[in-house]
């Protein structure tokens, strides 16, 4: 039977698993990097709980949103890791990990649905730290929510076609990108206005948040495009690209959720100090 007939809309990881299988290194690196991801989310969870009182009460909702993101990402990445180790089984004859039969196939779809929670939370979070000088809070919030949801749902549909129908894959990916550009536009506005009224040290962190935001959010479309990064119109069934996708997602997740949340905490600490809430010089501060 043809690979496409037996695997249909499955993502390209499964095709590699069935066509050539994975070497020990490719299989284990994937498993380890997924484990690293959920371990970091748990560490991040502790950081955001333990530092909540280092910022003035009005900024604490940002830490609470980080806690929500850490818990949902921890659960998702745990499931994702088990999905990987469950889908691929060791085959002693070929000395490779191959796609097993009888188990679920490997799928990234859970990630997309998890983003439905995390993307709005991450976008709202910054609105509780910075003060907008011109824009209206609720119109930015609604724009973030609308475009965030639309970007994810259109991408979710597209990723099912990454092997079977490149045209649909690129069309849905393109529609998703339009919403992504809208999010970038809104975020740039929030950063520019947010910087205006902030104390100098906080301004430095807000500037760093913009760089981090651009870098980390761009990695997600990069992971979407992974099977086509050989620049042909056929998806490449390469184990290096599979490992590359796991690594890209992990770097993106750690940067866009954990490091982003830490930078927001640091900015909020500086703003708190400027407003007279200085946790470093408080008794029983923690």
Which residues ranging from 237 to 256 are in contact with ligand RET (CB under 6 A)? 256
Q: Which of 221, 236, 255, 262 binds ligand RET (CB under 6 A)?
A: 221
- Long-range pairs for 113-119: beta carbons < 8 A, 24 or more residues apart: 113/152, 113/156, 114/72, 114/73, 114/76, 115/152, 116/149, 116/152, 116/153, 117/68, 117/69, 117/72, 118/69, 118/72, 118/73, 118/257, 119/148, 119/149, 119/151, 119/152
Q: Which of 33, 67, 151, 190 binds ligand RET (CB under 6 A)?
A: 151
Applying CB under 6 A, does 118 fall inside the site for ligand RET? Answer: yes
8 or 109: CB nearest ligand RET: 109
Q: Which of 120, 173, 194, 227 binds ligand RET (CB under 6 A)?
A: 173
- Mapped onto helix, strand or coil, the DSSP state of residue 15 is helix
Q: How far is the CB of 213 from ligand RET (least distance, A)?
A: 9
Q: How far is the CB of 152 from ligand RET (least distance, A)?
A: 6
Applying CB under 6 A, does 152 fall inside the site for ligand RET? Answer: yes
Q: How far is the CB of 155 from ligand RET (least distance, A)?
A: 2
- Mapped onto helix, strand or coil, the DSSP state of residue 98 is strand
Q: Which of 9, 23, 177, 192 binds ligand RET (CB under 6 A)?
A: 177
Q: Which of 205, 217, 237, 249 binds ligand RET (CB under 6 A)?
A: 217
Structure tokens at 192: 């520019």
Rounded Cα distance, 224 and 8, in Å: 18
Q: Which of 37, 155, 194, 261 binds ligand RET (CB under 6 A)?
A: 155
Task: Give me the torsion for CA of 230, 233, 235, 237, rounded to 10°.
Answer: -50
Q: Which of 59, 205, 220, 277 binds ligand RET (CB under 6 A)?
A: 220
Sign of CA dihedral 262, 129, 38, 83: negative
Q: How far is the CB of 189 from ligand RET (least distance, A)?
A: 17
Applying CB under 6 A, does 119 fall inside the site for ligand RET? Answer: yes
Rounded Cα distance, 226 and 238, in Å: 10
Rounded Cα distance, 215 and 178, in Å: 18
Contact residues for ligand RET (CB under 6 A)? 115, 118-119, 122, 151-152, 155, 173, 176-177, 180, 217, 220-221, 224, 256-257
């Amino acid at each position: 039977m043809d690979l496409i007939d037996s695997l249909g809309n499955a993502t390209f990881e499964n095709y590699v698993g069935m066509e050539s299988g994975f070497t020990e290194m490719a299989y284990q690196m994937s498993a380890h990097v997924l484990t690293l991801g959920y371990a970091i989310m748990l560490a991040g969870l502790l950081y955001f709980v333990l530092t909540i009182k280092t910022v003035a009460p009005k900024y604490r909702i940002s830490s609470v949103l980080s806690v929500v993101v850490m818990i949902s990402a921890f659960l998702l990445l745990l499931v994702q890791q088990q999905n990987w180790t469950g889908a691929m089984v060791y085959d002693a004859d070929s000395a490779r990990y191959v796609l097993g039969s009888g188990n679920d196939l490997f799928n990234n779809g859970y990630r997309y649905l998890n983003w439905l929670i995390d993307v709005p939370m991450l976008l709202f979070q910054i609105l509780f730290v910075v003060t907008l000088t011109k824009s209206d809070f609720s119109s930015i919030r609604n724009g973030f929510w609308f475009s965030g949801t639309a970007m994810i749902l259109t991408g979710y549909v597209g990723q099912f076609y990454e092997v079977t129908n490149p045209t649909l894959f690129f069309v849905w990916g393109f529609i998703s990108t339009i919403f992504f550009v809208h999010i970038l536009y809104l975020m740039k506005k929030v950063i520019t206005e947010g910087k205006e009224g902030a104390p100098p040290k906080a301004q430095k962190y807000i500037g760093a948040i913009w760089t981090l935001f651009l870098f980390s959010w761009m990695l997600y479309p990069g992971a979407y495009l992974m099977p086509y990064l050989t620049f042909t119109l056929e998806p490449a069934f390469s184990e290096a690209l599979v490992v590359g996708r796991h690594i890209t997602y992990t770097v993106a997740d750690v940067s866009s959720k954990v490091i982003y949340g830490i930078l927001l905490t640091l900015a909020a600490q500086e703003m708190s100090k400027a407003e007279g809430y200085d946790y470093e010089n408080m008794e029983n501060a923690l």
